[in-house]
Amino acid sequence: MEDAHLRSLTAVEAVDGDERAVEAALRPRSLDEVVGQQRVRDQLGLVLEAARQRGRAPDHVLLSGPPGLGKTTLAMIIAAEMTTPLRLTSGPAITHAGDLAAILSGLNEGDVLFVDEIHRMSRPAEEMLYLAMEDFRVDVVIGKGPGATAIPIEIPPFTLVGATTRAGLLPGPLRDRFGFTAHLEFYEAHELDEIVQRSARLLDVEVRADGTSEIASRSRGTPRIANRLLRRVRDYAQVRADGVVTRTVARDALDLYEVDASGLDRLDRAVLDVLCRRFGGGPVGVSTLAVAVGEERETVEEVAEPFLVRRGLLARTPRGRVATAAAWQHLGLAAPAAAPGTSADPALFDE
């Protein structure tokens, strides 16, 4: 059962059709237009330039990182920079190896095949993909049991671009077949500010510098959220003010949408709240946390946690999730002496 009350403004699946259209309009179209992620841009730019000079399809690329940081954008840019068509599919859409065989055998030389959420592909499809990535060949099995025969089909050289929120869930053999892996990090406030200014220009929204920086600082380090908050603030500016996005307008609008000054949204706060008030700060398993906030485990793990960990509000330990002293402070509560980050701090472990 879905608890509408806890539906978070950041949940990826909450994007409706209209939002998708706006999102597409705001996507950078070339590496030069991408804001931030300097290292990834330099490295990827080199991979693409070298491939162009050799007249070959670039190596397979894996893009990993939390939702909304630019994985799909980069996949589209790779195809655009190589001036080749982008073929698009996703792990959950490939339920049978046969689905993948059909996609692979329909590729043309140099095509970019984008597989979103590649960690959610079925095991047989994954095995077929290894072979295709390495030998540009698929074995199509005809028949069943002892009489079954595998017919090898050659496929033209292509570039696989995989995107995942959970690189750790990819089996080693699949991960190893990517020639280049880019891990996208949360963005700095000044980068998000630049993104908000760029989007405001494209959407024709009148903004003040203090207004965009307020939106940037509440965007959870995530461009998709920055763009979404800009649109909510624009609505507010239009209806309740004179249309201009100033700091006061941004602050009032975001308070209304329950995005707090550190950028935490309802889901982030619900996780911290349950962890501290109901479980005494932990340790508690992530599945238990998810049930307690009425969300899917994946949403808590892939959407809320990376940011909370990054902000030093939550720690992952071998025995479960633990609230740090900063988390207790954030909720306006006194931290117990044993909370990580206090003087009685026990050693922190990563998973």
Ligand X SMILES: Nc1ncnc2c1ncn2[C@@H]1O[C@H](COP(=O)(O)OP(=O)(O)O)[C@@H](O)[C@H]1O
Binds ligand X by CB under 6 A, chosen from 224, 316, 321, 330:
224
Regarding 117 and contact with ligand X (CB under 6 A), the answer is: no
Number of other CB atoms surrounding residue 207 within 10 Å: 24
Span near ligand X by CB under 6 A; candidates 83-91, 104-112, 223-231, 342-350: 223-231
- Nearest distance from C-beta of residue 92 to ligand X, angstroms: 15
Binding residue per annotation — 144?
no
Binding residue per annotation — 321?
yes
Span near ligand X by CB under 6 A; candidates 219-227, 263-271, 281-289, 332-340: 219-227
Number of other CB atoms surrounding residue 123 within 10 Å: 9
Which of 242, 244, 199 shows the shortest CA–CA distance to 219? 199
Q: Which is nearer to ligand X, 183 or 277 (CB)?
A: 183
Binding residues for Mg ion (CB under 5 A): 71-72
E strand spans, 208-337: 314-317, 320-323
The set of catalytic residues is 71-72, 116, 165, 224
Which residue's entry shows tokens 């763009």?
227
Q: Which is nearer to Mg ion, 64 or 72 (CB)?
A: 72
Q: Which does 335 bind (CB under 5 to 8 A by kind): ligand X, Mg ion, none?
A: none
Number of other CB atoms surrounding residue 88 within 10 Å: 17
Binding residue per annotation — 134?
yes
DSSP 56-95: SPPPPEEEE-STTSSHHHHHHHHHHHTT-PEEEEEGGG--
Regarding 84 and contact with ligand X (CB under 6 A), the answer is: no
Binds ligand X by CB under 6 A, chosen from 8, 10, 11, 26:
26
Regarding 73 and contact with ligand X (CB under 6 A), the answer is: yes
Binds ligand X by CB under 6 A, chosen from 58, 70, 221, 281:
70
CA-based radius of gyration for the chain: 23
Span near ligand X by CB under 6 A; candidates 28-36, 97-105, 258-266, 309-317: 28-36
Binds ligand X by CB under 6 A, chosen from 7, 27, 231, 297:
27
DSSP state for residue 335 in the 8-state scheme: P
Look up residue 82 and give its two tokens: 């190589």
Span near ligand X by CB under 6 A; candidates 32-40, 233-241, 254-262, 279-287: 32-40
Show contacts with ligand X in window 122-141 (CB under 6 A): none
Binds ligand X by CB under 6 A, chosen from 47, 60, 68, 114:
68
Supply φ then ψ for residue 248, to 5 degrees.
-60, -45
Site for ligand X (CB under 6 A): how many residues?
Answer: 19
Binds ligand X by CB under 6 A, chosen from 82, 160, 195, 271:
195
Span near ligand X by CB under 6 A; candidates 66-74, 77-85, 126-134, 245-253: 66-74
Q: How far is the first Cα of the chain from the last one, in angstroms, to the nearest whole number?
A: 29
Binds ligand X by CB under 6 A, chosen from 8, 10, 11, 28:
28
Which of 84, 3, 78 shows the shortest CA–CA distance to 46? 78
Contact 223, 187 (CB under 8 A): yes
Helical (H) or strand (E) element with 138: strand 137-142
- Nearest distance from C-beta of residue 66 to ligand X, angstroms: 8
Look up residue 28 and give its two tokens: 């950078």
Cβ neighbors of 165 (< 8 A, separation 6 or more) are: 64, 65, 66, 67, 117, 119, 302
> HSE on the CB side for 332, CA within 13 Å?
1
Known binding-site positions: 26-27, 68, 71-73, 134-136, 177, 187, 224, 297, 316, 321
**Contact residues for ligand X (CB under 6 A)?**
23, 26-28, 34-37, 67-73, 195, 223-224, 227
Question: Which residues are annotated binding-site positions for ATP?
Answer: 26-27, 68, 71-73, 134-136, 177, 187, 224
